[in-house]
Structures are given as structure tokens and as C-alpha cells.
Structure 1
Amino acid sequence: MTNITKQIDNGIIQKHADMVYKLALSRTKSTADSEDIFQEVFYRYFSSKIKFQSEDHIKAWLLRVTINCSNKLFTTAWFRRTVPLVDDIEFTEEENEVYISVLELPLKYRTVIHLHYYEDMSISDMSKILKIKESTIKSQLHRAKALLKIKLKGEYGDV
């Protein structure tokens, strides 16, 4: 396998920008914090000395660093002592209801829902990235779906 070179012009940011930003937004519920995490993740990517073996390796690394950066944010004194501003993000009525319901879930459930539905990740891949047992991921997904079903009152059959 050849190593993937880390050049800014190779499209890594363009290819993975949405994934990193949306995961950060899902975890932090704040566009400002998500933008900060986004910048930190790509700064770490371009300053790291890791030799990536494939695009999947890069994706997994970026997801793991995004989760680590958001976890680090949650432990700061600034985060614990401030009240977040409400972000007004435009969605259709149906998207807004689902989005709000997902954001109301506890962090661990938001994360697995995001990775499963938005990043189309398998349970085994989530287990590796989150460093959690597969059975725990399955339980969290099951509980998250049950909570969403209650919140959405069973209106959407695909939840």
C-alpha cells in the first residue's frame, strides 16, 4: 500500500469537511464550537506525522480526532461555566423536528445516531473509532432509536 501524502491541495478538507463539521455540530450543538473543532481537527491532521495507509484510515482518524476535540471542549472550565447561545439553523419542518429531537438526545446517543445514519458506519467501525464494545454500540443505537420514536411520536417509520 502506498501512503497518502498530506498536501493541502489534495482535497482532504473538501472531501471530509462536511463529515467533521456535522459530527462536531451534532456533539456540541453550537456552530461556533463546531467551527473551532473543525479547524483544530484539520490543523492536527496537517501537522501530524502519521503515515496514512488509505482513505478509510484518514476518515477513521478524522472522526476519532473530532470526537476527542469535542470531548476536550466539554472538560474546559469555559464550557462548564457558560450558557450556549441558540443557533438558528434553517431546515424544512420535517428536518427541523428530527434535528431537534436528535439534539435533545444525550451525547452518547447523538454520536452513535450521527455515525450510523449520517456517516453510514457499521457497528464494528463505530466500535473501533469510539473504542467501545460492539454490544454497547448496539444497545446505544437501540435506546437512541426508542427515544427518537417516543419524541417523534411514531410519525416517521424509518426512525
Structure 2
Amino acid sequence: MRQETDVEQAIEQYADMIKHICLVYMKNESDTEDVFQDVFLKYALFSEPFESEEHKKAWLIRVAINRCKDVLRSFFHRNTCSLDEAMAVAAPDSGDFSHVLEAVIRLPEKYKILVYLHYYQGYSAVEIAGILHKKVNTVYTHLARARAELKDMLGGDEGETGNP
């Protein structure tokens, strides 16, 4: 483990460079900040000495690039989107239905994923049961309960389209 002063010096010296590398790969500020922190945490925990200042710089660059690639390859990163992106595509061609998405987000976890998979991704209850390793009847029951909760949250039958 490195001395605190050594870590602070490295951050002061290389912060801009690492941040720019991360921003190029990650294309957003929040992921860039996460990777930036990971890089310097790894540096703080890495106890081997560097041959030269250039070796340290090259090591930091390599760690930043590898961490960016790891995050971009991760299941979570590939299969999620920000809340802003979700709100933008909630119903792009028909009115403002952001309140519906907000209601879905407020559902309990066990219902939220089912509603998302069924209504937003178009999976059937049988397919969802296979994906989540649940019984088909459990999926049907939870979807019905989720619809009931959404109906209460959104104010009853108003605006209902009759879709199951």
C-alpha cells in the first residue's frame, strides 16, 4: 500500500490525463468518475515500485483503459440505461407518459422487473418465468398485482387501454 502523499501527488500530476482517457471511453461524466476513482484506488493499493516516472504514467494509462473496457463489457452497463434515457423513450410518439414510468419505478422490486420485461421488452409470462427461474403462475400473479398497484397509483380506470 502506498503512502497517502504518494497517492495525492499522483492524482495531482495525472488526474487530468486519466479523466480525459476515461471520458473518451465512457462518454459520460458519472461513469468517468467511477473509473477514475477505481484507477487511483488500484494505484493506492499497488505496492510494487515503478522503474521510472514514465513507467508509473504508462501503468496508470493501462489501468484506466483496462478498467474502462471492463465496465463497458459488464452485464450491468450493457443492459441498463440512465433514468433520463428511460424517460425519453417511455412513450416517444404519444403524449407525455413519464408519470407511468415513474409509477413503474415506484413498484416493489419483484414487480418492477416483471413489468419492464413484459411491457417494455415484450416478453411473455412463460419467457419471463424462464429468464427469472420462477413458476409461470407466479409471474402471472405478480403481473396482476403489479397492474393493480399501478392502477391505484395512476388513478383507476382513467386512460386504460384494455391491454392485459
The TM-score with structure 2 as length reference comes to 0.46
Higher relative contact order (CA 8 A, sep 6+): 1
The structure whose Rg is larger is 2
